[in-house]
A and B are shown apart, each in its own frame.
Chain A
Amino acid sequence: MTGRDRMVLIGIVVVAALGAAWMLVVSPERKQANQLNAQVSSAQTQLASAEGQVASARAAQSQYAAAYASVVNLGKAVPPTQEVPALIDQLAQATNQKNVNFASITSGGGSSSSAAAGASSSFAQLPFTFGFEGSYFDLEHLFRALTDFATPATSATSGNLQVSGRLLTIQSVRLAPSSSSQSGKGGVSNLTGTITATAYTLPASQGLTAGASATSPAGASTPASTTGAPSSPTPAAIVSVNP
């Protein structure tokens, strides 16, 4: 074996030793480092997501008071139960204001009392037939008042909805000469107005506030008032409520 051959052999041995060291020691460690890099990225993503959830939850916590007020006030438009006495009171008050005689109310006229869509989360329908007596324009004003029980807010600063009474969807209107009185105020003939309307109730599975109190929702360990979070900059959804 010449010296050159020895040199080549020694080189091969050195390279092989270094290659083996790379393969057996260094490379696995570097591979683990890369895997941990991916793990760090995943943890960062997880943290960002969790922080987003926390931010959203804290925003919800700061809005809780306004949300609670909104839900309670929405209960005037869509109560959890039928609340027929309250509906009658509202109709009587509206008819008195509009010089209309509230003649009759019949429940369950012609429509299913359950939600047509069949979804348990949708509002249940409660059909009624109302009878009123008054002049043409008084009845028109009464219909406007019934519509205005629940309307979109007219100003941007007053939230989304304006609720003063029960949400009613009028399905049919019939005006005919009144048989009881031929002449009303100012010599104007009275009409009998028969309207078929539908009120709505919340799903049976939900209460008015779903178990929430004024200070905290159901299942919350920390009352909203103890968090020190700033109040929501957005206005309450319902600010105009006439009890």
Chain B
Amino acid sequence: MRAVNLLPVEQRTGQSVGAGRSQGGAYAVLALVGGVALMAFLYGQAKHQVSSRRAHAAALTAQAQQAQAAAERLAPYTSFVALRDQRMQAVETLIASRFDWAHVLHEFGRVLPSDASISSLTGTIGSSATATPSVSTAAPSTATPSTSTSSSASAASTATPVASATPPGSVPTFTLAGCATSQTAVALTLQRLRLIDGVKEVTLQSSTAGSTNSSGSAVAGGCSGHDASFNAQVSFDPLPSASAVATAAATKTVSDPTSASSATSAAPAPTATTSGATAR
């Protein structure tokens, strides 16, 4: 009896599973088709992105160019406003770097005791090159301003874009000559001078009591009778630094000089004695 294998040929032992008649070619075709489809999808997506982004970039670039053109058209306005701001800041810096002379003269009048008077007063700021006053023909000046307190003036001036005639760091100094009824009055005058706003140091240079000659005329420094003639030097705090001046200019701080005299509230009101050099 002859055995007969009833299994189909493709399912008999020794054949690979799933190979079928195509020997696995169908799976390969399916995989290839699927892969190609995936690749086509990814390619199309990338292509779309490229085209859309290219168009977007072109549109943005065109808008940017239009905006830049508009900005360039308006550039003169920007430059002019910048010029205004620059000049404004420069002027504010110069204003902030000034010394308040009027307030100091006001303070001299406030603090000077009634039994003393000032016959001459010289105030200077800055180095010897810039602070030596020019002598005019109508009002000659023979006094030599103090030059010992302005060593840092020129160095500070280079730090600011605007060169002030009273550069930051320079020290205002007053040299005054006057008469007092006695040496005690001179001492009181020195004490009162220390009450002035911003005074750093008051130095007595000389004080000479007068002696009346036989004719009764004054002999001590132009002062009458036995009055004492004195000379003193008053030094103030240095002018604000460049950074402080710039900050003040930037914040537009307004300093009211008349409101800063609280320290001298105890000083007597000015009298006729202080209103003139020879009013006594």
Which residues of A come within 8 Å of B, CB atoms?
Answer: 2-4, 6-7, 10-11, 13-14, 17-18, 21-22, 25-26, 29-30, 32-33, 36-37, 39-40, 43-44, 46-47, 49-51, 53-54, 56-58, 60-61, 63-64, 67-68, 70-71, 74, 77-78, 103-106, 108-112, 115-117, 119, 121-123, 125, 127, 129-133, 135-137, 139-141, 143-144, 147, 150-154, 160-161, 167, 169-177, 182, 184, 187-198, 200, 202, 206, 210, 212, 216-222, 224, 237
| A14 lies within 8 A of B161 (CB) | no
| A106 lies within 8 A of B163 (CB) | no
| A39 lies within 8 A of B31 (CB) | no
Interface majority SS (helix, strand, loop, mixed), chain A: mixed
Residues of B within 8 A of A51 (CB): 67
Least CB distance from B164 to A in Å reads: 6
| B95 lies within 8 A of A167 (CB) | yes
CA distance A67 to B77 in the complex (A): 9
Chain A's closest residue to B130 (CB) is A111
Least CB distance from B46 to A in Å reads: 4
Which residues of B come within 8 Å of A, CB atoms?
Answer: 15-16, 19, 23-25, 27-28, 31-32, 35-36, 38-39, 42-43, 46-47, 49-50, 53-54, 56-57, 60-61, 63-65, 67-68, 70-71, 73-81, 83-84, 87-88, 90-92, 94-102, 105-106, 109, 118-126, 129-139, 141, 143, 145, 154, 157-158, 160-167, 252-255, 270, 272, 274-279
| B53 lies within 8 A of A36 (CB) | yes
Residues of B within 8 A of A30 (CB): 42, 46, 49
Least CB distance from B122 to A in Å reads: 5
| A40 lies within 8 A of B57 (CB) | yes
Chain B's closest residue to A19 (CB) is B35
Residues of A within 8 A of B272 (CB): 188
Residues of B within 8 A of A172 (CB): 122-126, 131-133, 145
Contact count A vs B, C-beta below 8 Å: 364
| B105 lies within 8 A of A170 (CB) | no
| B87 lies within 8 A of A71 (CB) | yes
CA distance A19 to B64 in the complex (A): 41
Known: A57-B75, A175-B277. A77 touches B91 (CB 8 A): yes
Known: A11-B31, A110-B134, A210-B80. A189 touches B95 (CB 8 A): no
Residues of B within 8 A of A67 (CB): 80-81, 84
- Which 8 residue pairs of A and B lie closest in terms of their CB atoms, listed nearest first? A109-B134, A131-B139, A3-B16, A57-B74, A50-B67, A104-B138, A198-B165, A189-B276
CA distance A131 to B276 in the complex (A): 17
| B157 lies within 8 A of A18 (CB) | no
Residues of A within 8 A of B129 (CB): 110-112
Chain A's closest residue to B98 (CB) is A169
* A222: contacting residue among B25, B73, B165, B275, CB under 8 A: B73
CA distance A72 to B99 in the complex (A): 26
Residues of B within 8 A of A224 (CB): 77
